[in-house]
Amino acid sequence: MIAAAETQSHTPSDPTDAPLILALPKGRILKALGPVLERTGLFKDGSAIGEGTRSLRFPTLDPNVDVVRVRSFDVATFVAHGGAQIGVCGADVLMEFDYPDIYAPLDLGIGGCRISLAQPVGMGTHDTNAASSHIRVATKYPTITRRHFAAKGVNAEIVHLHGAMELAPTLDMASVIVDLVDTGSTLKANGLRETDVIAHVTSRLIVNRVALKTRPDAIRALIERFRNALQENAA
Ligand SMILES: Nc1ncnc2c1ncn2[C@@H]1O[C@H](COP(=O)(O)OP(=O)(O)OP(=O)(O)O)[C@@H](O)[C@H]1O
Ligand SMILES: O=P(O)(O)OC[C@H]1O[C@H](OP(=O)(O)OP(=O)(O)O)[C@H](O)[C@@H]1O
């Protein structure tokens, strides 16, 4: 664990003295990110950020960086809209929102999983290439799903859920689902099988492009701290 943060010097090119805002997701990414955050020198106990409080914004060991703790699906939106200058989220979230104002300079190599198509075990493989031109799909990822099926010439009717989409086929709400898969145990426990991997996912460090132009030194220094923390991790 790192006891004290290095002090990040403000340079004349920084137009503001306000701390940079780093948006971090709660949940499984934060858990995996904890050791990396400790090596950046920003926190003593990175995975415990915000525990035991209802506050959502926290100082770090660096007076020039504050953290906001938000839902993982919202991190990209906080960064794209400039509420936070920098953040961490899964590539699945980046793909879904596809914000042009976001630059993703670093693959953090955590939160590994895939976004996949799955269907009930007993059902024959769906011919999404030709015969069926319409399919009903339950998912938390409407944009990724529509794009995936459109590329095959299939019109996907989306049943937009925020969790437990594995239930949708057995409850006759959709014939297939698009969701995250890691070990495959959730699919198996719900009588589904993975039929197509749409994309592999890891967590990324993301940056607001405008902020990178207006506060280049502070942001580049923070990116470097994450890069070095990852290299220490690998060593
Ligand atoms: N089973 C998994 N294995 C590895 N990484 C995963 C897995 N499921 C999700 N992830 C990654 O972690 C991110 C957050 O997932 P998590 O389940 O912690 O949040 P959530 O509760 O679903 O999201 P939110 O906080 O927006 O409601 C996902 O966007 C993805 O990048
Ligand atoms: O292949 P597996 O290892 O079983 O992981 C896949 C599960 O993980 C995620 O859910 P999560 O645990 O985040 O629950 P939630 O969607 O209810 O938040 C995802 O939505 C799947 O349900």
Reported ipTM? 0.95
Structure token pair of residue 156: 């996907």
Q: Is the confidence at residue 12, as pLDDT, over 80?
A: no
DSSP-derived 3-state class of residue 106: strand
| Residue 70 and residue 193 in contact, taking contact as beta carbons nearer than 8 Å | no
| Of 92, 144, 162, 186, best ligand 2 pocket probe by most atoms within 8 Å of the beta carbon | 186
Share of the chain above pLDDT 90, in %: 81
Atom of ligand 2 nearest to the CA of 140: 20
Could you tell me the fold of the domain covering 20-111+202-234? D-Maltodextrin-Binding Protein; domain 2 (3.40.190)
Record: fold of 113-200: D-Maltodextrin-Binding Protein; domain 2 (3.40.190)
The alpha carbon of 19 and the centre of ligand 1 are apart by a number of angstroms equal to 28
Q: Give the pairing of strands 113-120 and 192-201.
A: antiparallel
- pLDDT tens, residue by residue, 103-134: 999 999 999 999 999 999 988 764 444 457 89
Q: Is 139 exposed, middle or buried (0-12, 13-18, 19+ CB in 10 A)?
A: buried
